[in-house]
Structure 1
Amino acid sequence: MRISVLSLHTSPAAQPGQGDAGGMNVYVDQSVRALAAAGHRVDVFTADPGGLDGTGAPDASDGRGAADWADADRADVIDGPDVDRRMDVSESITLHHLPTGARTKDELADAIEELAQMLLDHPVFRAAELIWAHYWISAEAALRAHDMTASESAHDLAAGAAPTPIAAGAAPTPIAVSMHTMGAVKNRDSETSHERPQRLHAEERIAAEADLLVAGTPAERRDLINELGADPGSVVVARPGVDHAHYRPGAKAAARSRLGFSDDEAVVLYVGRMQFIKGTDVAVDALADLRERNPHLASRTRGILLGAASGADAGLDAGGGAGGTRTMASGSGSASSNYLRELTAAIADEPSVEVRPPVPAHVLVDYYRAADVLIVPSRSESFGLVAAEAAATGLPAIAAAVGGLPEIVEHGHSGLLIAAHNPHHWATAIETLLCDDRLRAELGAHAADRAERFDWGRTVEVVLDALPGAAAASPHRCEALGAC
């Protein structure tokens, strides 16, 4: 099958943990590889303002992207009226960049009509037998491309010519959509109304018109149905996976040595973008609270924030720690910039906290192996790939009991779940685990066992089996879509 995967606002080759790159980038990267491994031909389309690799230099690799993407052969070719910047990742995977001139995700959202036309003009996209769109911008562009195709066909019929669907001679190409996050859910969970009305309206349309909606967890499935009004029969639960060949238990002492951690210090790890929705402030405040309640423990604890500023603030310096700077705020008055300004002040006041820039996967696994506990204080989280990756290495997590995180962390068995975002509760949980080596070891062992259920091959298999018209006799087909 020829599959077009749309990841328009962010490239799968971008470094997760900064800007608009996060767990979705890992999801697209790994699911595309799983599709190719299953024998499919995959074309990935992005319009990331940073270019093919999200760095701002489409033709230059600096090693920050996913390893295979960053090392791939790159070729600029003329493909229709516009230049198609293309990265051939393998014989079965090609990454295409659509040039729009957009400089931010919001500007890209305002160019959806242009994106739809560019997709429609691309012969590779028109030849697809399946479109898998990630995030609302990609899904809306795919639906508009279908609308344009319908208009073309109506015009051709009126002129007495044969209609021209996206795949010539075929029914309209089915569209599968993974939302990853939903505006309505982010507003609900953060108790704000920051999401653009454009997004909220678009997501309701997507829920109504997409052929298949892919939820990562039963909780996300419920949100698609209850918040967006999706038909339950159109939603399948396909849990994301983990690259178990890469994320697996390893020698802690060796990892610590490579990262510059001493054997006698306690390491508390946070991985992700610096933003309110991810609860970065909770992580910092919890470590500050730990200092008040247990000064001796805090004196030998190192809190590592592995990430950078998010979205429009991505260019801000998120460095920190020994020899670095902790400045992450900007002079603008946006909500995100104000948040970063306050976060910067809190980090500066807490000596145990060190900010380090995001790292590629081959370094990230060392952080998981070197740490004593991972904290995931998200206010909203559709799944939580960081927690799943950490679990696969045997690192227990303290996680917020929101979204898909309870799918990964089983409270008291493979980690701890915290119902609220009160820093005192988080400090108590951190203290409990840091002071109990045996408990940490037991939770870590169970976490590694639990992580075995997350498999990218299974993820794409469930999606393909659930597509309208797919072979219902498949042994992996769910009896009910929500039961997977």
Structure 2
Amino acid sequence: MRISVLSLHTSPAAQPGQGDAGGMNVYVDQSVRALAAAGHRVDVFTADPGGIDGTGGTGQRLQISESITLHHLPVDARTKDELADAIDELARLLIDHPGFRAAEFVWAHYWISAEAGLRAHDIAGESVRPPLAVSMHTIGAVKNRDSETSHERPQRLQAEERIAAEADLLVAATPAERRDLISELRADQDSIVIARPGVDHCLYRPAAKSAARQRLGLPDDEAIVLYVGRMQFIKGTDVAVDSLADLRRRNPHLASRTRGILLGAVSGVDAGGTARSASPLPGSGSSSYLRQLTTAISAEPSVEVRPPVPAHVLVDYYRAADVLIVPSRSESFGLVAAEAAASGLPAIASAVGGLPEIVEHGHSGLLIADHNPHHWATAIETLLSDEHFRAELGAHGVERADRFDWGRTVAAVLDALPAAVPAGCCEALGVF
């Protein structure tokens, strides 16, 4: 089958953890590879302001493999918000592209891609279009609800309601996301399929901690608390820093031999160098939150900021660390927690969104019901003080992570299409 995958605001070839790249980039990259492995031909479309591979430039074409081609649509947008204002232009570029016109199935990721896909159909005015599946990854109304803010643009909120009503298939990562699609966007429950994201088990698997630390230049006698991802309010980066500061107040001896590594960059800003300077976060002056975060990092001697790294290095951080912390205020799934679990690293995670699907409290990690740094510091102290408990949680996490498989992810989506698409549509298009 000829499949078009839309990942317009961020390229799957970009480095996760910087700019607007994160778990969604990994999801798109790995699910596309799984589609190709299943025998499908895939055209991936992006308009990432950072370029096709995060290096800048538009209008490029990158041949990922014999069956996967990555296309960069030439749009003059420098940010994700500017891209959202250019959706009609994106839709026309898609219509004009022979790869998109040849698609028998379209899978859109995030609301910008889904809205562009729907508008492309509106502009083309065709009576029959290929079935459209949508993975939201995050839902604006849910982010506002979970963070107790109203930061999401009305344009996004309105578009997501339309997407929920008009897409042929909505792909939820977890039952919790399915409930959110129904309650927040009034989606038809029969249009939703649950397809849990996967993990690359060939890469993310347990290995010797000492060897990983040696490769990363980390000492054997430190306790390492790891945070992975973009630095932003919704990800709870402030909670990570404040909990380590609280640990210093409650247990100075343990804190003196603990290193907190923040592996990532400011959201929307490409990563700079390793930082332990007066301004540890590149671009951190852009908001009061980031200014306060920079001050907190500078004041806590145990915290070190490191730039995001490719997957083959990231796995060594998982193996080298003692605890992963995922203090997100909203999280549709939490791919970092799943990768860490597969690598044998137990997580302390927020009890929000899809994270309880990955972290089973007291069995494969710990869940925290709020974002009070004192409670997070208590959990960190508990795990760092009990090596046997950490090992037990890590072993159970590896077992639990076996359920996450990219082949099963794409199979669940493809298997759900015939039931979601109106009768006769797939046959008219020659699909299935």
Give the TM-score of the pair, scaled to structure 1. Answer: 0.85
CA distance in 2, matches of 1:356, 1:94: 32
Partner of 1:3: 3
| Structure of larger gyration radius | 1
Partner of 1:228: 185
Unaligned residue ranges in structure 2 (runs of 5+) = 422-432
SS at match of 2:56: coil
CA distance in 1, matches of 2:259, 2:96: 52
The letter of the residue matching 1:128 is A
Partner of 1:112: 87
Cα shift at 1:320: 1.6
Please tell me whether residue 238 in structure 1 is matched to residue 183 in structure 2: no
Partner of 1:194: 151
Partner of 1:479: none
RMSD: 1.5
Please tell me whether residue 320 in structure 1 is matched to residue 275 in structure 2: yes
Please tell me whether the aligned partners of residues 236 and 329 of structure 2 are also in contact (alpha carbons under 8 angstroms).
Answer: yes
Cα shift at 1:260: 1.3
- Once the two structures are superposed, residues 240-298 of structure 1 have per-residue CA deviations (whole angstroms, 9 ceiling, x without a partner) of 00000000001110100111111111000000000000000000000000000000000
Please tell me whether residue 93 in structure 1 is matched to residue 47 in structure 2: no
Partner of 1:21: 21
CA distance in 1, matches of 2:124, 2:51: 27
- Once the two structures are superposed, residues 43-68 of structure 1 have per-residue CA deviations (whole angstroms, 9 ceiling, x without a partner) of 0000001111122256xxxxxxxxxx
The letter of the residue matching 2:280 is R
SS at match of 2:52: coil
SS at match of 2:12: coil
After superposing on structure 2, the runs of 4+ consecutive aligned residues of structure 1 that deviate more than 2 Å are 315-319, 327-332, 468-471
Please tell me whether the aligned partners of residues 319 and 325 of structure 1 are also in contact (alpha carbons under 8 angstroms).
Answer: no
- Once the two structures are superposed, residues 413-463 of structure 1 have per-residue CA deviations (whole angstroms, 9 ceiling, x without a partner) of 000000000000000000000000000000000000000000000000000
Cα shift at 1:92: 0.3
The letter of the residue matching 2:11 is S
Unaligned residue ranges in structure 1 (runs of 5+) = 59-83, 154-164, 166-170, 472-484
Partner of 1:310: 267
- Once the two structures are superposed, residues 388-429 of structure 1 have per-residue CA deviations (whole angstroms, 9 ceiling, x without a partner) of 000000000000000000000000000000000000000000
CA distance in 1, matches of 2:419, 2:290: 48
Please tell me whether residue 401 in structure 1 is matched to residue 351 in structure 2: yes
CA distance in 1, matches of 2:283, 2:97: 41
CA distance in 1, matches of 2:198, 2:280: 33
Among 428, 432, 435, the residue aligned to 2:382: 432
Give the TM-score of the pair, scaled to structure 2. Answer: 0.95
Residue pairs, 1:71-220, within 5 angstroms: 84-150=59-125, 153=126, 171-220=128-177
CA distance in 2, matches of 1:239, 1:111: 31
- Once the two structures are superposed, residues 299-320 of structure 1 have per-residue CA deviations (whole angstroms, 9 ceiling, x without a partner) of 0000000000002xx0475732
Q: Structure 1 residues 216, 198: CA separation in 2 closer, same or farther (over 3 Å shift)?
A: same
Residue pairs, 1:245-394, within 5 angstroms: 245-311=202-268, 314-315=269-270, 317=272, 319-321=274-276, 326-328=280-282, 330-332=284-286, 337-394=287-344
CA distance in 1, matches of 2:405, 2:116: 29
SS at match of 1:468: helix
Partner of 1:410: 360
SS at match of 1:3: strand
Please tell me whether the aligned partners of residues 272 and 307 of structure 2 are also in contact (alpha carbons under 8 angstroms).
Answer: no
CA distance in 1, matches of 2:255, 2:229: 23
Partner of 1:157: none
- Once the two structures are superposed, residues 48-97 of structure 1 have per-residue CA deviations (whole angstroms, 9 ceiling, x without a partner) of 01111122256xxxxxxxxxxxxxxxxxxxxxxxxx42101111000000
Length, aligned pairs only = 421
Please tell me whether the aligned partners of residues 176 and 211 of structure 1 are also in contact (alpha carbons under 8 angstroms).
Answer: yes
CA distance in 1, matches of 2:278, 2:320: 21
Cα shift at 1:328: 4.0
Q: Structure 1 residues 405, 253: CA separation in 2 closer, same or farther (over 3 Å shift)?
A: same
CA distance in 2, matches of 1:317, 1:90: 30
SS at match of 1:467: helix
SS at match of 2:418: coil
CA distance in 1, matches of 2:74, 2:252: 53
Cα shift at 1:324: 9.0
SS at match of 1:31: helix
Range moving further from structure 2, 372-381 or 462-471: 462-471
